[in-house]
Amino acid sequence: MSIYYRTRDGQADYEFSFERQASGEWRAYILDQPSYRGRPADSHSTHRLTDDHGRKYVCWNTPITSAEGLKNVVAKWCDSTQDYVKYGTKF
């Protein structure tokens, strides 16, 4: 299922594919997002991981067990990413 999110400042749009894994956990694969505009785009700085097929997804520190929970994570990640791009704020 495709999910769209507009950042709380209204300046950026993101698109995700929410996918349930065999383990029952959920992942938000990043389909579209703004550029990092010169900021480092490595996995650690951006809190993104890459699966075995080269697809990027949102990195989170605890298992996400529902699509609704994933929506909350994605909102936090997008807004934190927007702050990182605009101000260099780490998250």
pLDDT in tens, 64-73: 999 999 999 9
Classify burial at 77, counting beta carbons within 10 Å of its beta carbon; exposed 0-12, middle 13-18, buried 19 or more: buried
pTM of the model: 0.94
In the chain, how many domains are there?
1
Region of 10 (left: φ > 0; alpha: ψ -120 to 50; beta: rest) is: left
Give the number of other Cβ atoms within 10 Å of residue 48's Cβ: 17
pLDDT digits (tens, 9 = 90+) for 17-38: 999 999 999 999 999 999 999 9
List the domain range (segments joined by +) for residue 67. Answer: 2-87
